[in-house]
Amino acid sequence: MGMQGILGTQRGNEIIATVTNKNDPELRDVYFGMVHFTSYRADDREAKKILVGFLGNAGVRKTAISDALETNPCLVTRYSKSMREEGIASLLEDGRGRPGKVTEEIGVFVRKQYEQLRKKGKRNIRPKIKQKVKERFGVEISRELIRQVTIPVREEQDLSRQPEEPRGKFLPLLSSRGLPAKIDNGTNGIRLLKRLEAGFYSRYAGGLLLNVFVARLTEGVLEGYKDSQSAYDIRTFMIMIIQMVQFDIVNIERVKRINRREFGLLLGVGTSPSLKTMRRKLSEAVERLDMEKISIKLAQNYLSNLSSGTDTFYVDDHLETYSGKEKVLLGFSHVYDRMMEGIQHTFVHDRWGNPICFELRDNFNNFREYLPVMVKRVKSLYRGRRKPTFVFDRFGYERKLFAQFDKGLGAYYIVWTKADKIDYEKEPLKFDEVEFYFRRNIPEKPRKVTIGISELPGVRGEGKQRKIVLRRKATRRIERKKEYMYSSLVTNDMGSGKEEIVEHLIYRWREECDFKVEVNEFGIDQITSYMMEDYREDIFSGDELLPSDFRQEKMMQNPMLKPLRWRKGKIKKEIAKIDQQLGKRTFTQTKKTERTISAAMKLKRNKEALVRREQLKRQLEEIEEKIASLPERVNRLECLIYGKFKTFNFSKKLIMDTLKVCARNVRKMALEVFDHHYQNYRDQLDFLRRIIKNGGHIKLNGRGMVTVEIVPFDTEAENMVLANFLKEINAAKPRMFGDNPLPIRFKVGRT
């Protein structure tokens, strides 16, 4: 390559390329016109500017220069103009923008003060330095600017604290009770331990309180996805989702709001994954995670730790709206159009309103068809002695479905009766007045609701049933019309008392309240992916939850009949209106102007009406013939394919929603522990959220234990509650996540 090229503006000479030198990786060789032109060092920004300006003034195209030297095309114009008008010296100094506040003298002063204050172990160092700079130089600088100036000092001090062989120093700190040795996975393994030894403040320190509950509810789930060769494995990704939603980061896109250096503590890594990494890991999780097995294992953990002792389950659908432009299946709502089962969760909750499992399914079945599937799933997980009881809304009311509970499902049901038009006020029923207690803000003063209960004789049919009628005092405007309001329910539980059955049903509101919590605080209705796909013949072939006749041979009412019947009804109304007008004109005459029917029909306006009537009659006959030629019911899948409907790809959303439900149950377990120390239900949950979102100082002591000092609250009473809560958390022996499960001890920081 000893040949020299001739610099020119010909197309051939504009072939520019920059490659890394083989002998020196920091050196960049520039080839112009297929021959070596010059070289510059990668860290020499001024040399690169001069080269850009030189090539720009030589008439080379801006796009060729920007592609070869990896610079913005607009900079080519600016550097060329500056070099042409002001000379090369103009590229050596960039005087754009306002002059910086931090001069060299101020920078030296800030670094010196930072070294002294940190050596003395002072806290809140940046506000103190900010005040000293203002007093001495009369300049007010921000704490962020102080942080940037002191970065070299912090790195130097951290390096001075680090041992030459960190493995030898940290291994004795780890417990010998089966804990793995520290693993260096490239970035995060060693980095976090070094920072823990030095100690640091994290605004997410309170989130470590949840570690013990996350470990219990995910036992047997995370272990199989551990990868010591990766800085962020699937296990770390799953913990990241569970922890981040506690801090209102309810979707992947909000990860950019996180302070990654501080949040990594909750995952057991030096820095938490970036937004780009989380997107990539979510796509990887779709391929690696078996959500069917994970959901079953999580449900077993919920029943063991959170819902132990429950034998009553609540099943209901949670609908999510869709406002996109794709052609999807729509259902009906009194407020607005909602998507039907196309973006619908079918949830199962325990008797306290905690979600046990759910299914996110396509609209190829209705609730009545899917209810037995959820019952079978719960029964495969339930290990109680008596039959489980399933409570659901009147939408699932169907006698054929009730027969399945007695024969094949082996479970009890409780459901409101549907379309019960009996006037119970006229029936000779004897009601027992029973008081039900609802927990309010003050435990000693629960809300009392009095309900009259009366049981009717057994209902005849395929299975044994009990019908129970409820009566309650009418209030507000209704009490002006009637004294009581009545409703009825049916059940196949012949052994339980009627008061117990009514109590199971009226506590169904807990499930509805949980839907609001999951939507408002955990983003269960958030869109995770915009991926959609067309319906095809084999789209449901892999669905093993429902029988094949529900998957492939599902029939539906012919959708082409609906607009035809609507048009038929409209034409009939128009014909009836014409007949009415003709009758009025013919027979409503006075005695002086009496006319025969034939004379009346000869009126001009009547002739026009008769012509219009004949046209409508012919249209009506054509529509009736078309309706008769069309089948009453058609294959639903074929109809969806023919109509070019779209369906959602739920692979990513299923992962996110499963982990969000786990996060919700993690917080509920923490709330049950917190209830031992703070029973003011007005702000109990709000108080716990404040603790979780509170910051603290974290440091690894000489005994191999991570000490977390939570920042105290303003009042002594709150700090007392916090101290007692932390004491119970410490008794559960929490540990860090990640490659080094170090034990954690919490305490309230100094005021």
Total residue count of the chain as it appears in this document:
751
pLDDT at 334: 46
415, 489 Cβ separation under 8 angstroms: yes
Of the listed ranges 22-31, 156-165, 302-311, 513-522, the least confidently predicted one is 156-165
Average of per-residue pLDDT across 305-324: 85
pLDDT at 342: 59
Q: What is the DSSP string of 78-114?
A: HHHHHHHHH-THHHH----SSPPS--HHHHHHHHHHH
pLDDT at 444: 67
pLDDT at 364: 55
Question: What sections of 178-248 are H helices per DSSP?
Answer: 188-198, 211-217, 234-244
Of the listed ranges 76-90, 297-311, 326-340, the least confidently predicted one is 326-340
pLDDT tens, position by position, 413-443: 999 887 788 888 888 888 999 988 877 666 6
pLDDT at 244: 95
- pLDDT band for position 548 (cuts 50, 70, 90): low
pLDDT at 163: 44
Q: Which residues pair with 412 in a beta bridge?
A: 389
- pLDDT band for position 183 (cuts 50, 70, 90): very low
Question: Which of 654, 682, 668, 679 lies closest to 350 in space, CA to CA?
Answer: 668
Average of per-residue pLDDT across 123-137: 86
pLDDT tens, position by position, 205-236: 999 999 999 999 999 998 888 887 787 889 99
Asked if pLDDT for residue 363 goes beyond 80, the answer is no
Bigger pLDDT: 92 vs 747? 747
Token readout for 692 is: 């979780």
Q: What is the rounded (10 degree) CA torsion for 391, 394, 395, 397? A: 80
Average of per-residue pLDDT across 282-297: 92
Asked if pLDDT for residue 1 goes beyond 50, the answer is no
For a pLDDT cut of 70, what percent of the chain falls above it? 83
In angstroms, the CA 714 to CA 719 distance is 8
Asked if pLDDT for residue 655 goes beyond 60, the answer is yes
Pairing between β-strand 389-392 and β-strand 312-319 as defined by DSSP bridges: parallel
- pLDDT band for position 600 (cuts 50, 70, 90): low
pLDDT at 544: 67
For 520, other C-beta atoms within 10 Å of its C-beta total 11
541, 619 Cβ separation under 8 angstroms: no
The answer for residues whose C-beta is within 8 angstroms of residue 85's C-beta and 6 or more apart is none
In angstroms, the CA 411 to CA 348 distance is 15
Of the listed ranges 241-245, 253-257, 442-446, 465-469, the least confidently predicted one is 442-446
Output phi, psi for 49, to 5 deg.
-65, -45
pLDDT at 247: 94
Buried b (16+ CB within 10 A) or exposed e, 291-304: beebbebbbbbbbe
pLDDT at 33: 64
In angstroms, the CA 16 to CA 743 distance is 58
Helix, coil or strand: residue 489 = strand
Of the listed ranges 252-261, 392-401, 610-619, the least confidently predicted one is 392-401
pLDDT at 169: 37
Average of per-residue pLDDT across 242-247: 95
pLDDT at 266: 93
Average of per-residue pLDDT across 156-177: 45
Asked if pLDDT for residue 283 goes beyond 80, the answer is yes
pLDDT at 584: 59
Average of per-residue pLDDT across 633-648: 82
pLDDT at 95: 58
In angstroms, the CA 708 to CA 199 distance is 10
Q: What is the DSSP string of 723-734?
A: HHHHHHHHHT--
59, 86 Cβ separation under 8 angstroms: no
537, 641 Cβ separation under 8 angstroms: yes
pLDDT at 237: 94
Asked if pLDDT for residue 42 goes beyond 60, the answer is yes
Pairing between β-strand 466-473 and β-strand 484-491 as defined by DSSP bridges: antiparallel
The radius of gyration computed from the CA coordinates of the chain, to the nearest angstrom, equals 37
pLDDT tens, position by position, 522-543: 988 887 887 888 888 877 776 6
pLDDT tens, position by position, 21-30: 878 878 888 8
In angstroms, the CA 275 to CA 278 distance is 5
Output phi, psi for 563, to 5 deg.
-65, -30
Asked if pLDDT for residue 365 goes beyond 80, the answer is no
Of the listed ranges 33-42, 559-568, 598-607, 643-652, the least confidently predicted one is 598-607
Residue 238: left if φ>0, alpha if ψ -120 to 50, beta else—which one? alpha
Q: What is the DSSP string of 16-48?
A: EEEEE-SS-TTEEEEEETTEEEEEEETT-HHHH
pLDDT at 591: 43
The answer for residues whose C-beta is within 8 angstroms of residue 89's C-beta and 6 or more apart is none
The reported pTM is 0.69
635, 553 Cβ separation under 8 angstroms: yes
Pairing between β-strand 696-700 and β-strand 706-710 as defined by DSSP bridges: antiparallel
739, 749 Cβ separation under 8 angstroms: no
pLDDT tens, position by position, 63-112: 888 888 888 888 888 888 888 888 887 777 655 556 677 788 888 898 88
In angstroms, the CA 673 to CA 501 distance is 29
494, 464 Cβ separation under 8 angstroms: yes
For a pLDDT cut of 90, what percent of the chain falls above it? 33
Average of per-residue pLDDT across 566-579: 91
655, 415 Cβ separation under 8 angstroms: no
In angstroms, the CA 444 to CA 319 distance is 37
pLDDT tens, position by position, 662-705: 999 999 999 999 999 998 888 899 999 999 999 999 999 888 89
Question: What is the distance of C-alpha 535 from the center of its chain?
Answer: 26
pLDDT at 545: 66
145, 156 Cβ separation under 8 angstroms: no
pLDDT at 617: 92
Q: Which residues pair with 17 in a beta bridge?
A: 31
Question: Which of 529, 527, 531, 521 lies closest to 660 in space, CA to CA?
Answer: 521
